[in-house]
Every structure is written in structure tokens, then in C-alpha cells.
């Protein structure tokens, strides 16, 4: 008995199709070659391996692994604000206007 399987080679925009390494394997897989980041508003952005970006107080990095590109995230946790240890510092900012012709 034979069973016919229709293997789709359609991958997402950040992926490439990799055929099965085995002659007995049926279908290949889609491997991430970049990172697709989904934002809260429903949109997605594709980042290249090695890219870092910030979103909602979190730093993200697209890294390459043997299995494909993945997203790592780093969240900074700040200690509670202590007003008694805070120094009041005043600085004066000078703005210069440059005209480039």
C-alpha cells in the first residue's frame, strides 16, 4: 500500500524550505533564516540574524542556532526609586543650529 502525501514547500517570509535529509523522510521543513517579531498591534517585522531592537522596555536579539534563527529577549529590572539617595543635578543644554548648504 502506498499513501500519497502532498508536501507543501511554502514557507513564511523569514524561512527557507529544507528538504528531508533522509530518502525515507516524507516532507522537508521550513527553517528560520531570520526572525519574525509579532507586535501587539498585529503587525510583524522581520529582523536579520545579529539584529537587536527594543520594544515595550524589552531588548530583543535575533540569533542563529543549529535549528534556525530564534529571538532572545532581555528585560532590565530596576530597583525601586530611593529619593533620599538621589542628587538633584541641574544642567544647562546649549543648542546650536547648523546650516548645511
pLDDT tens-digit readout, 64-94:
999 999 999 988 777 777 777 776 666 555 5
- Side-by-side strand order, sheet with 52-55: 52-55, 58-65, 68-75
Question: Which triple of cell numbers denotes residue 71?
Answer: 529571538
Largest CA distance in the chain: 83
The fraction of the chain above a pLDDT of 70, given in percent, is 78
* Alpha carbon distance 45, 38 (integer Å): 7
Amino acid at each position: 500500500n502506498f499513501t500519497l502525501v502532498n508536501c507543501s514547500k511554502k514557507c513564511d517570509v523569514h524561512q527557507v524550505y529544507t528538504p528531508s535529509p533522509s530518502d525515507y523522510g516524507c516532507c522537508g521543513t521550513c527553517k528560520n533564516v531570520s526572525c519574525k517579531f509579532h507586535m501587539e498591534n498585529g503587525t510583524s517585522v522581520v529582523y536579520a540574524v545579529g539584529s537587536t531592537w527594543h520594544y515595550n522596555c524589552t531588548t530583543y536579539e535575533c540569533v542563529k542556532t543549529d535549528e534556525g534563527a530564534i529571538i532572545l529577549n532581555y528585560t532590565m529590572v530596576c530597583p525601586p526609586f530611593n529619593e533620599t539617595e538621589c542628587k538633584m543635578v541641574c544642567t544647562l543644554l546649549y543648542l546650536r543650529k547648523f546650516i548645511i548648504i
